[in-house]
Amino acid sequence: MMPKEKESFNDLNTKEWAINSRSVWNDLSSARTRNALKHGATFPKKLSDRVISLYSRKNDLILDPFLGTGTTALSAIELQRNFIGFELSKEFFDIANNTIKDCVNLLFNNSCDIIEGDCLELIDGVDNNSVTLTLTSPPYANLIHKVLEDRTKRHKKSAFVVDNNATTRLYSNYDKDLGNMDLEKYKTAVLELMRKLFVKTKNGGYNVWVVKDFRDTKNKIPYVDLHTIIANLGQEAGFKYHDLIIWDQNERRRLVLLGYPSVFYVNQNHSFIVVLRKTL
């Protein structure tokens, strides 16, 4: 008689557990949806499906403080989790609200609450020790301002813009938008959010941020190690640095010349999935 498998915290069996344990994910990228193109910086639903499946189980509470167009919410709905999300931009909130409303009406029995406003204020309304998983992709400080200026002046017709269907745009003009802050103010705001997330997260719960390192060559900073900054801020707030996963995006991105002909740079065709955990 075969021994019975132990029940896993995420309801995965041993085969599913093993298949999903690779540290580099190269099977997630897909053509962007219309809503994703409007936003310009969303992750694919395959990614949120996988992260939610790995770090939570049915009826757990999932939180996304930077809701965007609602990708994390859709995954939570389809995977039978409860969800709460915040979005500062009215435009993206309305997109998410309309999309989620259609999905909820079809197949959802759990709770799904999305609220328009500043996540640093709205998170105070979440019960302490209630969140099993936070999954989000934050703005990258004022990087978008630099990218837009760069593309307008130097790369208007480059392969990066044309072949990669680049649609980067400002999220909003709000001072509270992390995408409008310089790096130092950004780190202060992220640390404040991390501290609040720590209080709201259950013991044993996870806090997962999808981020990309970047360059600020205009200010003579060749490499900004954003994923390490995020991990360090999470640790300062009390989380443990649990894991790091690489999301390989080469399949959907063309290689372009960077720094040619004087300085060689590699293409940043991957993102980092920073996995933090609350363990007391």
As a whole number of angstroms, the longest Cα–Cα distance in the chain is 70
Tokens of 198: 């720590």
Contact at 8 Å (CB) between 116 and 155? no
Q: For position 109, what pLDDT does the model report? A: 73
Domains of the chain: 33-156+178-278 (3.40.50.150)
Q: How many residues does the chain have?
A: 280
How far apart CA 109 and CA 86 sit, in angstroms, is 21
Higher pLDDT, 144 or 231: 231
Task: Find tokens 């936003």 and name the residue.
Answer: 39
Contacts with 195 (C-beta within 8 Å, 6 or more apart), sequence order:
237, 238
Taking alpha carbons only, the member of 190, 239, 192, 204 closest to residue 60 is 204
Contact at 8 Å (CB) between 144 and 170? yes
Residue 235 pLDDT grade (very low, low, confident, very high; cuts 50, 70, 90): very high
Q: What is the pTM of this model?
A: 0.87
Higher pLDDT, 35 or 244: 244
> How many Cα atoms sit within 13 Å of 11 on the Cβ side?
11
Tokens of 275: 């996995």
Residue 172 pLDDT grade (very low, low, confident, very high; cuts 50, 70, 90): low
Q: What average pLDDT is seen over the chain?
A: 86
Q: For position 157, what pLDDT does the model report? A: 47
